[in-house]
């Protein structure tokens, strides 16, 4: 019995699920004349060939194949990238003991000869490095008792439905990657410096081939600490790539069309590490159909995995670290700085517009200091819908929630876009981005990257120097997270600067709203410092300014602030009246976030007044709205309030459930 397989790999981890699925598929296969095809796909370096061999050996152990295992690597039969299937058939016929002189000359006759020879075969055929399903079809044995294991860089979707069991290999998760590195290295330095070991593992991004390179690097340099090795290894992988698979990636890249090659070279310059179909379209400048074709081509070539398209609502994808480094190397060779800069500017402007739309849809119409940017030619907007155009309240709420989720899912890209825009001197775009980030930060406070965006926006506003409104808005935005972190002096200095810039504002409606917002921010800082009487005065002053404009939303917002301040100074009846007025006004204006927050504040006052039934109803409403917004901090404080309410009512079990939920949310947000 022939077994044309290399020795088993010394170390192999975490493909048990794929192995079991393959063996189960073989056990369940029922066909007399067609073999089962198991298709393993994924980028080079994921261990597809090794897994194919392990499956083949497992099949020999479970159901012995009389004709053994044949293996063929199609890349050995390519000339200039073109495959001659006749040569492959000649090789397989030789492996089946057909004498060289008896191999049929004509291709069609050779196919029939192969099918005749395999019509009663019980064999496993491993076909490595397949590019298209059509390359496999002539090689299929004409026997239902045989199994064909195919490896390819991209999915072979040309197979008819049901014609193959598709096993797409993902990168190794961190636990499995750690296990593999420890097997490869067996070095005490890994345990002595676990943080550096994790950094090495993250650098390899779940790619077994990269982990083997890292393992050899660690074994070679036995005296150097891991922290020193890490920088050297990063430079090695960035400069030279993963030696075992670099030529495979280079071959795949060389076969790409010009648009797909361009997109591949641009993707590592996408800010934030992840991209979507829509943002890739903006980055590439290829237009929707051209970008779709290019992404599908990269997927087929094994240079990209499109499966994450369906795993998140935004459809975020990424290039694994080693592949990203490979794309960067080709970008340095073939893409000019001007081409990259043009693509990044186009992408930043696209993201600014999408964030502005998401901000408007999530928070409702509000004062902004940068108008909505024009659309980017050839790059359609992200699929977000205006809640105001919805036919029902439920549909309106779903659209607002979807916009808030988009801001949350794309927050790291937005943060990175702000850094990139600031570095390129795009001050308008930096200030414009800070406003949607503000909306996101209201539901997700204490994010250092959001604070960095606000600092960049202040710097851009000062650097620009031509818009007093920018100076007021950006300083107020930055001041809030600072006073929430206890950095009162810096926050006060920023607000002093905002008030000074406010003296340069004109008499337009926008400028008058900005002046009122600066007074409100000063009142909020006073409240944070415990001066609630002073805060109440500022909120009242701000409300008067909004009434004079007139700005009904601003009046409602300051009424809400005054209600909170009145509760803090102990005037519960006034607080109840003001908060009820604000709550009803926010409901009428469909201000989702402020409905929830005013409901929470009003519930607290009602609880203190002994009106616990009304308080519970409002708390539960506030919790439901915070759940929809994924506002972890708001959810935690509502759970804590409900726990207090239940404890007072003697519901100890329910109170503990709420406390547990609050602790979990605070732990998840790093606030314990």
Residue 671 has pLDDT above 60, yes or no: no
Mean pLDDT of 208-217: 80
Report the alpha-carbon distance of residue 646 to residue 635 in Å, rounded: 16
Mean pLDDT of 208-219: 80
Tell me the angle at which helices 337-363 and 592-608 cross, rounded to the nearest 10 degrees: 40
Banded model confidence at residue 532, pLDDT cuts 50, 70, 90? very high
Residue 161 has pLDDT above 70, yes or no: no
Mean pLDDT of 534-556: 96
Q: In whole numbers, what is the pLDDT of the chain averaged over residues?
A: 89
Domain 247-335 in CATH 3.30.2310? The answer is no
Mean pLDDT of 344-370: 95
Are 147 and 124 contacting, i.e. CB atoms less than 8 angstroms apart? Answer: yes
Report the alpha-carbon distance of residue 88 to residue 204 in Å, rounded: 35
Which tokens belong to 234? 């990063």
Banded model confidence at residue 30, pLDDT cuts 50, 70, 90? confident
Residue 670 has pLDDT above 80, yes or no: no
pLDDT at residue number 286: 96
pLDDT at residue number 511: 96
CB atoms near residue 533 (< 10 Å): 12
pLDDT at residue number 312: 57
Are 179 and 14 contacting, i.e. CB atoms less than 8 angstroms apart? Answer: yes
237-256 per-residue burial string, b: 16 or more CB within 10 A, e: under 16? bbeebbeebbebbebbbeeb
Mean pLDDT of 415-436: 97
**Window from 88-102, 473-487, 602-616 with minimum mean pLDDT:** 88-102
Mean pLDDT of 249-261: 90
Are 313 and 402 contacting, i.e. CB atoms less than 8 angstroms apart? Answer: yes
Which residue in this structure is represented by tokens 């709550």? Answer: 583
Banded model confidence at residue 163, pLDDT cuts 50, 70, 90? low
Residue 310 has pLDDT above 60, yes or no: no
Banded model confidence at residue 430, pLDDT cuts 50, 70, 90? very high
Residue 307 has pLDDT above 80, yes or no: no
- Among residues of the chain, what percentage have pLDDT more than 70? 96
Residue that wins the pLDDT comparison between 561 and 104: 561
Report the alpha-carbon distance of residue 124 to residue 122 in Å, rounded: 7
pLDDT at residue number 353: 98
Would you list the domain boundaries of the chain?
16-168, 174-244, 247-335
Residues 6 or more apart whose Cβ sits within 8 Å of residue 148: 35, 36, 37, 38, 124, 125, 126, 127, 136, 139, 140, 141
**Window from 215-219, 315-319, 643-647 with minimum mean pLDDT:** 215-219
Residue that wins the pLDDT comparison between 316 and 541: 541
Give tens-digit pLDDT for 596-634: 999 999 999 999 999 999 999 999 999 988 888 777 788
Residue from 265, 262, 291 nearest 276 by CA: 291
Give tens-digit pLDDT for 508-531: 999 999 999 999 999 999 999 999
Report the alpha-carbon distance of residue 464 to residue 458 in Å, rounded: 10
67-85 per-residue burial string, b: 16 or more CB within 10 A, e: under 16? bbbbbbebeebbeeeebeb
Mean pLDDT of 331-354: 93
pTM: 0.76
Banded model confidence at residue 269, pLDDT cuts 50, 70, 90? very high
Give tens-digit pLDDT for 632-649: 788 888 999 999 998 988
CA distances from 250 to 242, 323, 482 (A): 11, 11, 49
Which tokens belong to 158? 């040309």
Q: What is the CA radius of gyration of the chain?
A: 31
Banded model confidence at residue 231, pLDDT cuts 50, 70, 90? confident
Residue 570 has pLDDT above 60, yes or no: yes
Residue 125 has pLDDT above 90, yes or no: yes
545-578 per-residue burial string, b: 16 or more CB within 10 A, e: under 16? bbeeeebebbbbbbbbbbbbbbbbeebeebbbeb
Mean pLDDT of 55-71: 81
Banded model confidence at residue 308, pLDDT cuts 50, 70, 90? low
Banded model confidence at residue 147, pLDDT cuts 50, 70, 90? very high
CATH number of 16-168: 3.40.50.300
**Window from 394-398, 463-467, 492-496 with minimum mean pLDDT:** 394-398
Alpha helix (H) ranges present in 485-551?
A: 488-502, 509-528, 532-548
Residue 379 has pLDDT above 90, yes or no: yes
- How many Å is the maximal CA-CA distance in the chain? 104
pLDDT at residue number 467: 96
**Window from 145-154, 186-195, 305-314, 492-501 with minimum mean pLDDT:** 305-314
pLDDT at residue number 640: 93
- Among residues of the chain, what percentage have pLDDT more than 90? 51
Residue 9 has pLDDT above 80, yes or no: no
């Amino acid at each position: 019995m022939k077994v044309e397989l290399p020795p088993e790999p010394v170390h192999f981890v975490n493909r048990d699920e794929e192995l079991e699925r393959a063996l189960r598929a073989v056990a369940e296969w029922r066909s007399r004349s067609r073999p089962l095809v198991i298709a393993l796909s994924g980028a080079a370096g994921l261990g597809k060939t090794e897994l194919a061999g392990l499956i083949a050996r497992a099949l020999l152990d479970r159901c012995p194949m009389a004709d053994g295992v044949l293996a063929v690597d199609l890349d050995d039969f390519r000339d200039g990238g073109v495959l001659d299937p006749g040569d492959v058939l000649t090789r397989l016929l030789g492996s089946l003991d057909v004498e060289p002189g008896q191999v049929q000359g004509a291709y069609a006759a050779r196919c029939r000869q192969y099918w005749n020879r395999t019509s009663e075969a019980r064999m496993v055929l491993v076909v490595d490095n397949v590019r298209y399903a059509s390359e496999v079809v002539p090689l299929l044995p004409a026997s239902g008792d045989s199994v064909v294991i195919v490896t390819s860089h991209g999915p072979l979707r040309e197979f008819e439905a049901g014609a193959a069991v598709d096993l797409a290999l993902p990168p190794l998760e961190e636990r499995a990657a750690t296990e593999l590195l420890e097997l490869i290295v067996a070095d005490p330095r890994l345990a002595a410096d676990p943080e550096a070991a994790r950094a090495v593992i993250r650098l390899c991004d779940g790619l077994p081939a990269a982990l083997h390179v890292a393992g050899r690097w660690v074994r070679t340099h036995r005296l150097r600490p891991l922290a020193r090795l890490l920088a050297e290894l990063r430079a090695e992988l960035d400069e030279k790539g993963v030696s075992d698979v670099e030529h495979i990636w280079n071959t795949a890249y060389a076969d790409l069309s010009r648009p797909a090659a361009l997109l591949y070279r641009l993707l590592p310059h996408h800010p934030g590490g992840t991209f979507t179909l829509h943002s890739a379209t903006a980055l590439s400048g290829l237009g929707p159909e051209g970008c779709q074709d290019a992404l599908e081509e990269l997927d087929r070539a094994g240079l990209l995995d499109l499966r994450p398209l369906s795993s998140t609502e935004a459809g975020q994808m990424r290039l694994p670290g080693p592949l990203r480094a490979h794309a960067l190397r080709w970008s340095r060779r073939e893409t000019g700085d001007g081409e990259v800069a043009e693509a990044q500017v186009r992408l930043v402007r696209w993201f600014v517009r999408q964030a502005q739309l998401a901000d408007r849809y999530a928070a409702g119409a509000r004062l902004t200091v940068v108008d909505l940017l024009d659309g980017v030619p050839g790059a359609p907007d992200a699929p977000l819908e205006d809640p105001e155009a919805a036919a029902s309240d439920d549909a309106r709420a779903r659209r607002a929630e979807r916009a808030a989720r988009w801001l949350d899912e794309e927050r790291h890209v937005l943060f990175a876009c702000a850094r990139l825009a600031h570095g390129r001197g795009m001050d308008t775009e930096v200030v414009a981005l800070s406003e949607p980030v503000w909306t996101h930060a209201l539901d997700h406070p204490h994010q250092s990257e959001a604070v960095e965006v606000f600092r960049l926006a202040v710097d851009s506003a000062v650097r620009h120097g031509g818009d007093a409104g920018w100076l007021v808005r950006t300083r107020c935005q930055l001041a809030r997270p600072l006073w929430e972190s206890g950095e009162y002096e810096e926050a006060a200095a920023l607000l002093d600067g905002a008030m000074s810039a406010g003296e340069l504002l004109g008499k337009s409606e926008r400028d008058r709203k900005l002046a009122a917002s600066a007074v409100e921010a000063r009142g909020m800082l006073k409240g944070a410092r415990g001066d609630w009487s002073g805060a109440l005065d500022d909120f009242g002053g701000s409300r008067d300014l909004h009434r004079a404009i007139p700005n009904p939303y601003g009046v409602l917002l300051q009424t809400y602030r005054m209600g909170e301040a009145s509760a803090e100074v102990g005037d519960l009846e006034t607080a109840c009246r003001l908060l009820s007025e604000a709550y009803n006004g926010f409901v009428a204006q469909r201000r989702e976030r402020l409905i929830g927050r005013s409901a929470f504040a009003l519930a607290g006052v009602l609880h203190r007044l002994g009106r616990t039934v009304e308080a519970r109803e409002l708390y539960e409403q506030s919790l439901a709205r915070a759940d929809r917004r994924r506002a972890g901090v708001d959810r935690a404080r509502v759970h804590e309030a409900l726990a207090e309410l239940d404890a007072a009512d003697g519901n100890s079990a329910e109170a503990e459930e709420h406390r547990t939920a609050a602790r979990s949310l605070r732990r998840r947000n790093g606030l314990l």
